[in-house]
Chain A
Amino acid sequence: MASVSLSGIVKRFDRTVVVHGIDLDIADGEFVVLVGPSGCGKSTTLRMIAGLEDLTAGQIRIGERVVDRLEPKDRNIAMVFQNYAIYPHMTVRKNIAFGLRMAKLPKPEEDRRVREAAEILGLVDLLERRPSQLSGGQRQRVAIGRAMVRNPAVFLFDEPLSNLDAQLRAQMRLEIKKLHQTLGTTVVYVTHDQVEAMTLADRIVVMRDGRIEQVGAPTELYRRPASMFVARFIGSPSMNMIPGVIAEGVGAVGLDGVGTVSGLGELENASAGRRVFLGVRPDDLRVATEAGGGPLSLEARVGVIEPLGPETLVYAEVGGRELVAKADGRISLRRGDVVRLVADVDELHVFDAETEVVLRR
């Protein structure tokens, strides 16, 4: 078990800089998820930790050791790949034991560890099978088993679930989380799926264009996004953004063609006339059953309705713009109904339109 610390990590391929100087400290036993859209540099960062890519600049420590020049096998890490990367010409047992054999572990110890991992992962009956005879979920378990038996200080996961169907993904997600709780090993996990990030992580690192956009606990990122990018990326459906401009007086924003919101309190760097976006999550934007006021209260015309059971997603038009809101599943709504969308002041986010940085915390 070990901590991982990245300082000033830069990666350049030929002319293009993929990772622009990342600093990140991961505590021993922590489950950290790197999340971001494709091409944000998250996988490259993970591969640099693994030793599969060179650093252009910066330093990586695993535990107390600087590992920049160590080969992957000497870094005390294990990795699970997106396409499982299990050897198709070897049995499950050989696949799991392969790394141990390379490390020249005594045979009884090897067998013990393989058996232990197989038991935890429910692979005991499959040990003599070939990968082609396994389902996607089973293959992923083999890949995890192969990583487990090495007793690594750090587990690296590179989008391990993206090839599975939705149901299996949810199930494997749970298993990975349980595994982390059982083993307590440090995990660095890369995904583009924010749901995976939210459900698995102790701490999420949101990346964009090779830079860290925000680091924090899942709820913190959800409730206090530091930028429009994080606000949109975390949470589904993504946050509604209503353009507007800061009005005279404290804590007031004039929304384009909709009206004014006030009572927002102190806004950082807010001079009147500055273009901003007011953000509100669909979860926080409710369809009010009765007319009433609030800091945000918008009259809207119902468009598409998506009933999810307990609640209903409502796509409603407000001042020529479509917003998504949630309504109680028992309310009956129809296309064309005029309703009121309301939100509490605590749930409103204000972002600078130009820098996209949050102005209200």
Chain B
Amino acid sequence: MRAWYHARTVGQKQAVWAWIFLALPLFFFIAIRLFPTGYTTYVSLTDWNLLRPKNFIGAANYLRLWNDPIFWQVFWNTFKYLLIGMPISLVLSFLVAYYLDQVRFLQGTIRALYFIPFLTTAAAMAWVWRWFYQPVPIGIFNLILVDLGFSQQPFLRSTSQALGSILAPAIWAGLGFQVVIFLAGLRAIPETYYEAARIDGVGRWTILKEITLPLLRPTILFLVVVSSIGFLRIFDKVYNMTVDGKGGPLNTTRPLVLNIYQLAFTDYRMGYAAAQTMVLFLVLLAVTVVQLRALRTK
């Protein structure tokens, strides 16, 4: 072994080391990431329920999914989180970053205030917000409403308000990250562009529209994708804010990941759950591909 090693050239010795160093990580990625990906794909084609052996049933799970009203409800819920949450959080975080960028006094501290929710345990914060939504005399939101002379709202107990009520803390938690990224993007724009615009007598609004936003394009795209993926994968908050973690009332808040969790680990319908993870995977893949495309066109 030693003699063999010494007979290698310098480049060959380095290759030997490279593979030694990579051996464990590579094994890990194959065993823990790549192989399970294939395994899930396979399970999605079976009727496996942990109790009896797997039967290959072809695309039956996918057909069932196509005809399953609950799946479609869940799928639509997931997109509601995305389609409402993503634009609101982006606009809000841009506004905060845009104005925060213009102030100097205590800027770092204010940025930190916005950022803190991003780091905290989602499960814990979900319970805090759940408490806020309680009826009088417990919940602060309803107390404020009543104090201002409005009527109480059901929030999490209502089929029409629950999804929005869960979305609020989700937006709140992700806002700080987006503010920080937007701020960094704004600061990366060279001051000379603004100076040149000011010398040309361009107004504030035009500068924003013609200089700032176009130059922020990569940042915006990045945040669109990251926050889209975040909303598509929403789980912790819904699990902790709905009764028994079921995504109620009447499944109106249940997102795809929660549905997968219930199917796989409460009902043990592994095959059917696996088919739904494939759907999630394809949606996430599509988002990423769209991003890569959009980045390339510029």
Question: Which A residues lie at the B interface, using CB under 8 A?
Answer: 51-55, 68-69, 71-72
List, in ascending order, chain A residues with CB within 8 A of B12's CB: 54
Of the residues A53, A68, A69, contact of B6 by C-beta under 8 Å: A69
B11 cross-chain contacts in A, Cβ below 8 A: 53-54
B9-24: which residues lie under 8 A (CB-CB) from chain A? 9-13
Closest-CB distance, A46 to chain B (whole angstroms): 14
CB distance from A12 to the nearest CB of B (A): 12
A71 to B7, CA, bound (A): 11
User: Once the chains are docked, how many angstroms separate the CA of A272 from the CA of B8?
Assistant: 57
Q: Give the total of B residues in contact with A, Cβ under 8 Å.
A: 8
When chains A and B are docked, how far (Å) is the Cα of A209 from the Cα of B11? Answer: 23
Name the prevailing secondary structure of the A interface residues: loop
16 interchain pairs (CB within 8 A)? A51-B10, A52-B10, A53-B10, A53-B11, A54-B10, A54-B12, A55-B9, A68-B9, A69-B6, A69-B7, A69-B8, A69-B9, A69-B10, A71-B10, A71-B13, A72-B10
Which 6 A-B pairs rank lowest in CB-CB distance, beginning with the nearest? Answer: A54-B11, A54-B9, A51-B10, A54-B10, A69-B9, A71-B10
Chain A neighbourhood of B9, CB < 8 A: 54-55, 68-69
Residues of B within 8 A of A71 (CB): 10, 13
User: B-side binding surface: helix, strand, loop or mixed?
Assistant: helix
Greatest chain A CB density within 10 A among B7, B10, B12, B13 is at B10
* Interchain CA distance A54-B14 in the complex, whole Å: 11
CA distance A241 to B50 in the complex (A): 86
CB distance from B5 to the nearest CB of A (A): 10
Q: A50's closest neighbor in chain B, by CB?
A: B10
| A-B CB contacts (within 8 Å), total count | 18
- The closest CB in chain B to the CB of A54 belongs to B11
A residues near B10, Cβ cutoff 8 Å: 51-54, 69, 71-72
- 10 A-B pairs besides A51-B10, A69-B8 with CB distance below 8 A are A54-B10, A54-B11, A55-B9, A68-B9, A69-B7, A69-B9, A69-B10, A71-B10, A71-B13, A72-B10
* B197 nearest CB across to chain A (Å): 37
A53 to B8, CA, bound (A): 13
- Find residues 226-242 in chain B having any chain A CB closer than 8 Å to their own CB: none
Specify which chain B residues have a CB less than 8 angstroms from the CB of A68 in the assembled complex. 9
Query: B7: nearest residue on chain A (CB-CB)?
Result: A69
Tell me which residues across on chain B come within 8 A of A52, comparing CB atoms: 10
Of all chain B residues, the one with the shortest Cβ separation from A52 is B10
CB distance from B261 to the nearest CB of A (A): 47
B13 proximity list for chain A (CB < 8 A): 71
A68 to B6, CA, bound (A): 11
A115 to chain B, nearest CB (A): 33
A55 to B10, CA, bound (A): 9
Residue of A nearest to B9 (CB): A54
**Cβ of B163 to closest chain A Cβ, rounded Å:** 53
A72–B13 CA distance with the chains assembled, in angstroms: 12
**B49 CB → nearest A CB, Å:** 52
Closest Cβ of chain A: how far from B3's Cβ, in Å?
A: 12
Inter-chain contacts of A69 with B (CB < 8 A): 6-10
Q: Kindly provide the distance from the CB of B14 to the nearest chain A CB, expressed in whole angstroms.
A: 9
A69 CA to B12 CA in the complex, in Å?
10
Q: Name the distance in Å between B203's Cβ and chain A's nearest Cβ.
A: 45
Question: Shortest beta-carbon distance, B254 to chain A, in Å?
Answer: 53
A14 to B: closest C-beta gap in Å: 13
Q: Smallest Cβ distance from A308 to chain B, in angstroms?
A: 38
With A and B bound together, what is the CA distance between A219 and B152 in angstroms? 98
- Give the residues in chain A near B7, CB-CB below 8 Å: 69
In the complex, A39→B221 CA distance in Å?
39
* Assembled-state Cα–Cα distance A53/B12 (Å): 10
Q: Could you tell me the distance in whole angstroms from the C-beta of A54 to the nearest C-beta in chain B?
A: 4
Max count, chain B CB within 10 A of own CB: residue among A53, A69, A72:
A69
Complex CA gap A68/B12 in Å reads 12
Chain B residues in 8 Å Cβ range of A51: 10
Question: How far is A52 from B6 in the complex, measured between Cα atoms in Å?
Answer: 16
Chain B hits for A54, CB < 8 A: 9-12
